[in-house]
Structure formats: structure tokens, C-alpha cells
Structure 1
Amino acid sequence: MSFAFELAGRASAITLDTMPPEAGRVAARAFADTIGTALAGCRAGFLDGIERALEIAADAGPATKIGRHGRCHPLQAAVINGTAAHALDFDDCSTTMGGHPSAPVVPALLALAQDRGSSGRAVLSAYLAGVELELRLARAVMPHHYEKGWHPTATLGVFGAATASAHLLGLDPERMATALAIAVSMASGLKSNFGTPIKPLHVGQAAYNGLLAATLSEQGVTASHSAFEHEYGFFNVLNGAGTFDPQRALGDWLTSPDVLSPGIAIKQHPCCGSAHSAIDAALTLHRRHGPFRSGEITAIETWTHRRRLAHTDRPRPKTGLEAKFSVQFLTAKALTAGIVRLGDFDDSTFLDADTASLAALTRSIAHDEPNEYLGRVKVTLGDGRVVEASASTEFGRGPLNPMSDDELEAKFVDCAGASLDEKRARSLFRAILALDRAPSIEGIMTATQQG
């Protein structure tokens, strides 16, 4: 039996009824968080360029562009909404995946569900199947996959999107396996483009390619079911011999799903998750001793795991987007302001005088301790005092430290603020959490658009 078929058989068995009851709540919250982050990211300037490149005509299809005007073909909506969901790097995270599980999957499902008139319950079941598959596949290839330079949110997310779309289409395991085999040839995304608009485009492209793979399979297009394990297949080409273990992806998915443990974490800070531990350590110092001002400090030192520092060591960010990947900027912002907000990354205002001065004083050091999420911040004050703190934040608020629904709603309202007034945003949030009772998602998607 091919590896693609092994995966498809397990994913096909997943529904809201076969998974633990808590999984449905996790899925609904993931939809709320992803739609919220798309509402926040939908005004990124580069999305206009993507729309022009795709030649999207006004109201040329059934699928909604979240927070933007008009409708389009489902494949176009998948790439636009997927890119928007990751545009601000504020979408949910998984330590298993080393990336963002929902952003490639939710946009593909929303576009397809609008086109096919699917129920909310069917959409949530498909989401759980797709995300569980991409997380299980991550177990087979991580951490080498990430260390080699691949962007797992894209290279693994495409399989989540393909699986979820195939599940929503009602494809049997044979055709779902074909969709996965097609997606093997569409898996891409390199870390060299982190800190640029191409990183969020990776996610939009994964949503697009996953949806395309499933619809191609539905139309009878075939592919090699040995595309994963082949000599020139996914494992050997993207990872390399001796760096993967397909058996780690198998086992019983229903009794101990990865979506529940280690689970999905919701981001509290709107920036790269690899900097969250340093931010949280700096926030601890702000609560104890702050706020800090540039004239009071002579030196700042941060420690981040070598793997995480590799793409957050940007001492002099030139744009708001680069600042999201600068542990120096983010530490300085947390020390001065006591919070990191969406508005802190506006290109015209992000580098205020205090933050710029403190970022310039910050020296970031790599550590190799077993806890790769550990971050430390040490501040030397002008009077000679030294204050320091540490934190270990696994990319966001996960099952061990979950966001309450009220906290998630506050994040949603903040994210939606550029597109919706507070009343509409709160109403939309409540509707998404009740997605399992919705006969369709049309009302929810219509409510995401500008008035």
C-alpha cells in the first residue's frame, strides 16, 4: 500500500463525530483566528499586485475575498485569502509543524464551501482531516525539513489543503491519495524569502495548490501514488536519505490527535513566533521595572535558540515587515511599550526614536540549550544595575496556556478593526464559533466584506 493511500485512509476516517468532542471547538476557534488574521492582513499592499497579476475581475465568481471588494473564482480566493491570513504573521502555530497549520487550510475550505454550498459541520470535519494530516506528516520530516531551508507552512500546508478539500468534496481514499500525489509536485516555499511579501504568498499558493490538487483528482486526473516514497519523491528530494521516518506519521489518529496534543497555539503577538520568548521575557521586565527609556539603558542582550535566531537576527529592519522578524526590534518595543500591537509595524511609524535607540543597543546571541523555545533578555541600566528575565513560549498560547474565548474575541476585534466596526466584528466572531450549526458559510463570508 502506498504512503499516500495510508495517509488518505486515516484522513478519510476523521469527522466531528469520530474525533474527541474538544476537537470541534479547536476547529471553530481556528476558523475564527484565521478569518480574523485575514481581516487584518487583507489590506497589505502586495495583495493588490497579486490581484492584478491574477487578473481578477470584479464579481467574477462565487468566492469571497475576505475584507476586500468583489468575488472571484475559488482558486483565486484561496490564494488571496491564504496570503492575507499570513500577511502579518499573526496566524496560529504548531510546534509539531514548526509553522502555521490553519492558514493554508482554512482559505481553501472557505472558497470551496462557498462554491459547493457545504455546511459548517462538513467544513469543520474537513479542516480536522486536513490539519491532522499535515501535522502527522510533519512528524515524519521535522526538524531536518525546517533546518534544510524549507518553509513547512507551505511545503506541508499544501497537503493539509489538498486533504481538507478532498474531504469536503467527498472523495474516497483512492482519490484523496491521488490528490496528495498531485500535491507532492506542488510542495514548495523557501525560508530565504522570510521577511518579504513572498513568505505570505507561500501560504496563499499552498491553499491554491491544495485546492487545485483535490479538484483535479475529482475530475479524474491521475498521479503516481508512490510520489512520497519514490527514489525521486517528496521524502528523498525535499529531505534526503536518512532524515525522515514515514512511520512516525502513521498510527492511530483518532484516539490521540495532534490537533489536541501538542495542539494548536494561537499567537498573542503579531510577529514571528521565534521571537515570542524574547518578547515575553522583555514584557516581564517591563512589568517589574519599566517602562524603559533609551537614556536609561547602556546595553541589552538577548538569547534565542540558534535555529530560531537564524531568521530573527535583523538588528536594523528597514520596513515594518522586516521588523516582525527582528528580535532586536521586538525586544526593544516590548521594553518600551509593554505590548506589541498590530499598529507597531506600520512602515511610516514603526521605528520611533526610543525603539530605534534600544534596538541599536541590543546584541542577540544564539544558544544551543535543549529547550529550543527558551529566550532570555538581560538589560544593563545606566546606574550599573542589571535586570534579566527568561521565558519559554512555544509559538503562542496552546493547550497548556490557552486563550479564553474572550481573549480570542479581543484579538479578533483588533484584527477586524481595519475592515469592520466593533459591533459587526463581535457578531461575526460569535457566528464563526457556532459554525457547526450553520447550514452554509455564505452568511459568515458575506459578513467579512467591507460594508
Structure 2
Amino acid sequence: MSFARELARRALSIRSETAPAEAAHIARRAFADTIGVALAGADAPYLDGLEAVLDTASAPGQATLWGRGRRASVLHAPLVNGTAAHALDFDDCSTTMGGHPSAPVVPVVLALAEWTGATAGKAIEAWMTGVEVETRLARGLLPHHYEKGWHPTATLGVFGATAAAARMFDFDEERMATALAVAVSMASGLKSNFGTPVKPLHVGQAAHNAVMAALVTRRGMTANPEAFEHNYGFFNLFNGAGTYDAEAILRDWDGPMEVLDPGIAIKQHPCCGSAHSAIDAGLDIVAREGLLPADAIERIETSTHDRRLAHTNRPDPRTGLDAKFSVQFLTAKALTTGRIRLADFDDASFLTPELADLLPRVAASGHQERDAYLGRVRVVMKDGRVFEGSASTRFGRGPTNPMSDTELRDKFTDCATPLLGEAGAGAAYDAILSLGDDDRFDGIMAMISGKGDTA
């Protein structure tokens, strides 16, 4: 039996009625977090250009563009919403995947739910399926896949989103396998474009391609059932012989769900997760010593794992988006202000004179310790005092240190208030978290469309 067929068989074993109740709650949190960060990213200037290319204004369709006051086709809405969801790099994370599991999946699930009138229960089951597929693929492909330069949120996310779309369309095993094989030829996303608007576009494109793969499969498209394991297939071309373990992907589907263990981490800092341990190490110092004035600092030394430093070693960020991937900027910001906020990455104001003067005195180095999430910060003050901090942050808060529903509500309202108003943002969050299995999404989509009064 082909790998795609084996994967589809396992994906179809994910059922809401047999999944732990906590998994459904995590799904609602993922819906809320993804929508929230997408609303915060909905005014990214490049989304206007994307909509112009898609001509959404003259071709309204079946699904809501979150926070943008319009509708688009069931293909184009996931493309725009997926891009917005990753625009701020504030979306949820998976340590297994080395990326962001919900951003490519939630826009697909909700667009198809809106189009077909599906219930929340069905959407939750589809999300569970999508996240299990993409994270379990990562079990057999990472770390080599990531270190080679691929962006797993896109290259693996397209398969999670395709599996989720297949569940929304009630595909059987054969048709889900076909859709996954179609998606093999639609996987892409290169780390060379990290720090540019193309990175979030990767996610939108993965969502779009997933819906495309499912739709053409519905219309009779066929694909090579061995598209994953073929000599010129996904495994050998994207990873290479000897660098993947297909059996690891197919093992233990009767064990704990990935969404529960190691779980889905909700980001508390709106920037690249690979810099979070350094940020938290800096905040550890601030908690003990108070804020450190930039002009009183002689130098700052950071140490993060080589795998993380590879794309966060940006000593001279030129834009707010670039600064999201600069461990030097982010650590200095944490030490001098005590937090990382959405407003810290405005192109016109992110680089204050004080930070511009401090950044040349920030040195970033890498380590290869067993704990790949360990970050250390050492600060030497001009008066000779030395402060040290450390933290092990697994891409945001995981199951051992979860963000509470109340804290997630605060994050959601911070993201959504500029578009929905404070009352509207709070009402939208509460509606998402209280979704019943038989509820539909019409009311929530109306709340997050961006058409309402934000007073």
C-alpha cells in the first residue's frame, strides 16, 4: 500500500467522539488564536496587493476575509486569511513541526465550513486531523528538512490543510490519499525569504493549494499514489535518501495525540519563536534587576542553539519585519523595555535612537547543547556589574506552562480591538471559545468580518 494511502487511513482514524475532550477545547483555542493574529495582520500593506492580484473586489465569493470587510472565493479566502494569520509571526507553534500548525489549517477549515454550512464539531475534527498529519510528517522529516532550508509551516502545512479539507468534504481513504498525492506537487516554502512578506505568503499559498488539491480531487483528478516515496517524490527530493524515516510518521497513531503531547504552544511574543528563549532570558534579568537603560549597557551577549541562530542572527535589521527575526534587536528590546509588543515592529518607529546606538554592542553566538531551546543572556554594564539570565522556551508556552484562557483572551483582544473595538473583540473571543458541536460559523464570521462599528 502506498504511503499516501497509509497516511490517509491513519488520518481518518481521528474522530471527535473518541478524542479526549481537551483536544476539542484546544481546537477552539487554535481557532481563536489564529483568527486573532490574522485580524492583527489584516492591515499588512502587502495584503492589498495580494487582493488586487486575486481581484477579490470584483469577484466576491463564499468565504469571509477576516477583518477586511469583504468576501472571496473558497480558494482565495484561505490564501488571504492564511497570509494574514502569519503576517505578524504571532501564530501558534509546534515543537515537533518546527513551525506553526494552525495558520495553514484554520483558514481552510473555516472557509469550507462557511461555504458548506458545516458544524463546529465537524470543523474541530478536521482541524485535529490536519494538525496530526502535518506534525506526524515532521516526526520523520525533521530536523533535516528544516536545516536544509525548507519552511515546514508551508511544506508540511499543505498536507495538514489538505487532510483537513478532505475531512470537510467527507473524503474516503482513497480520495484523501489522492488529494495528498496531488498536494505533493504543490508543496513549497524556502527559508531564504524569512524576514520578508513572502514568508507569510508561504502559509496562504499552502492553504490555497490544499483547497485546490481537495477540489480537483472531487472533480476526478488523479495523481501518482506513490508521490511521497517515489524516487522523484517528496521524501527524496525535499529531504534526500537516508535523511527521513517514513515508518516514524506512520507509527503510534493509537498513542497520545500531538495536539495534547507535546501540544500546541500559544506565542506570547509577536516575533520569531527561535528568539523567544533569548527574550525570556532577558526578561529573567529584568525581573530581578529592573529595566536596564540602553545608555548604561556596555555590551550584551546572547547564546541560542545553532539551529535557531541560523535565521535570527540579524545584527542590523532594516525593517520592522526584519526585526522580528533579529535576536539582537529582540533581546535588547526585552532588556530595556520589559516586553515585546505588536507596536514594536512599526517600520517608522521600531528602531529608536537608543536601540540604534545599542545594537552594535549586542553579540549573538550559537551553541549545540542537547536542549535546543536553551537561551542565555549576559549583560555587562558600564559600571562593571554583570547580569546573567537563562530560559528554555519551546516556541511559546507548551503544555507544561500553558497560556490560560484568560491570558489568551487578553492576547486576542489586543490583536482584534483595533478592527473590532474592545467590546466586539471580547464578544468574538467568547463566541469562539463557547462553540458547541452543532453550532455554525455564520455569527462569528459576521463578527470578525471587519464591517462593524469599532467604537
Q: Deviations over 1:268-319 (max 9, x none)?
A: 0000000000000111111211211122111110001111001001111111
Q: Which residue of 2 aligns with 1:415?
A: 415
Q: Which residue of 2 aligns with 1:443?
A: 443
Q: Which residue of 1 aligns with 2:47?
A: 47
Q: Deviations over 1:79-114 (max 9, x none)?
A: 000000000000000010000000000001111111
TM-score (norm 2): 0.98
Listed as ranges, the matches of 1:36-115 within 5 Å are 36-58=36-58, 60-115=60-115
Q: Deviations over 1:145-170 (max 9, x none)?
A: 00000000000000011000000110
Figure out how many residues of one structure are paired with residues of the other and give that number.
451
Q: Which residue of 2 aligns with 1:339?
A: 339
Listed as ranges, the matches of 1:240-389 within 5 Å are 240-389=240-389
Listed as ranges, the matches of 1:152-231 within 5 Å are 152-231=152-231
In the alignment, the residues of structure 2 paired with residue 207 and residue 62 of structure 1 have an alpha-carbon distance, to the nearest angstrom, of 16
Q: Deviations over 1:179-227 (max 9, x none)?
A: 0000000010000000000000000000000111111111111111100
SS at match of 1:222: coil
Moved over 3 A (4+): none
**Which amino acid is 2:167 matched to?**
H
**Which amino acid is 2:244 matched to?**
F
**Residue 254 of structure 1: how far off its partner (Å):** 4.0
Using the TM superposition, name which of 24-33 and 193-202 deviates more: 24-33
**Residue 58 of structure 1: how far off its partner (Å):** 4.8
In the alignment, the residues of structure 1 paired with residue 35 and residue 343 of structure 2 have an alpha-carbon distance, to the nearest angstrom, of 18
Q: Deviations over 1:351-379 (max 9, x none)?
A: 11222222221000111111111101000
**Which amino acid is 2:175 matched to?**
R
**Which amino acid is 1:337 matched to?**
T
In the alignment, the residues of structure 1 paired with residue 169 and residue 254 of structure 2 have an alpha-carbon distance, to the nearest angstrom, of 21
Q: Deviations over 1:8-29 (max 9, x none)?
A: 0111121211212211111111
SS at match of 1:211: helix
**Residue 251 of structure 1: how far off its partner (Å):** 2.4
SS at match of 1:217: helix
**Residue 410 of structure 1: how far off its partner (Å):** 0.2
Q: Deviations over 1:99-136 (max 9, x none)?
A: 00000000011111111111011000000011101111
> What are structure 1's unaligned runs of at least 5 residues?
none
CA contact (8 A) 1:78 1:108 kept: yes
Q: Which residue of 1 aligns with 2:130?
A: 130
SS at match of 1:64: strand
In the alignment, the residues of structure 1 paired with residue 293 and residue 439 of structure 2 have an alpha-carbon distance, to the nearest angstrom, of 54
Using the TM superposition, name which of 353-362 and 203-212 deviates more: 353-362
Q: Which residue of 2 aligns with 1:147?
A: 147
Using the TM superposition, name which of 373-382 and 434-443 deviates more: 434-443
Using the TM superposition, name which of 430-439 and 195-204 deviates more: 430-439
CA contact (8 A) 2:62 2:73 kept: yes
In the alignment, the residues of structure 2 paired with residue 142 and residue 46 of structure 1 have an alpha-carbon distance, to the nearest angstrom, of 31
In the alignment, the residues of structure 2 paired with residue 282 and residue 130 of structure 1 have an alpha-carbon distance, to the nearest angstrom, of 35
SS at match of 1:13: coil
In the alignment, the residues of structure 1 paired with residue 44 and residue 435 of structure 2 have an alpha-carbon distance, to the nearest angstrom, of 27
**Which amino acid is 2:383 matched to?**
D
In the alignment, the residues of structure 1 paired with residue 59 and residue 423 of structure 2 have an alpha-carbon distance, to the nearest angstrom, of 26
SS at match of 1:112: helix
Q: Which residue of 2 aligns with 1:27?
A: 27
**Which amino acid is 2:256 matched to?**
S
**Residue 59 of structure 1: how far off its partner (Å):** 6.2
Using the TM superposition, name which of 268-277 and 415-424 deviates more: 415-424
CA contact (8 A) 1:58 1:72 kept: no
CA contact (8 A) 2:86 2:203 kept: yes
In the alignment, the residues of structure 1 paired with residue 144 and residue 372 of structure 2 have an alpha-carbon distance, to the nearest angstrom, of 14
CA contact (8 A) 2:28 2:433 kept: yes
Using the TM superposition, name which of 352-361 and 89-98 deviates more: 352-361
Structure 1 residues 436 and 14, CA, compared in 2 at 3 Å: closer, same or farther? Answer: farther
**Which amino acid is 2:403 matched to?**
M
**Which amino acid is 2:132 matched to?**
E
CA contact (8 A) 1:109 1:127 kept: yes
Q: Deviations over 1:52-73 (max 9, x none)?
A: 1112125611210000021110
**Which amino acid is 2:357 matched to?**
S
In the alignment, the residues of structure 1 paired with residue 38 and residue 193 of structure 2 have an alpha-carbon distance, to the nearest angstrom, of 20
Q: Deviations over 1:233-252 (max 9, x none)?
A: 00000000000000111123
SS at match of 1:223: coil
- Give % identity: 61
In the alignment, the residues of structure 1 paired with residue 176 and residue 64 of structure 2 have an alpha-carbon distance, to the nearest angstrom, of 26
Q: Which residue of 1 aligns with 2:16?
A: 16
**Which amino acid is 2:220 matched to?**
G
In the alignment, the residues of structure 2 paired with residue 270 and residue 186 of structure 1 have an alpha-carbon distance, to the nearest angstrom, of 29
**Which amino acid is 1:110 matched to?**
L
CA contact (8 A) 2:295 2:358 kept: no
**Which amino acid is 1:170 matched to?**
D
In the alignment, the residues of structure 2 paired with residue 59 and residue 413 of structure 1 have an alpha-carbon distance, to the nearest angstrom, of 31
CA contact (8 A) 2:122 2:437 kept: no
**Residue 255 of structure 1: how far off its partner (Å):** 3.4
Q: Which residue of 2 aligns with 1:117?
A: 117
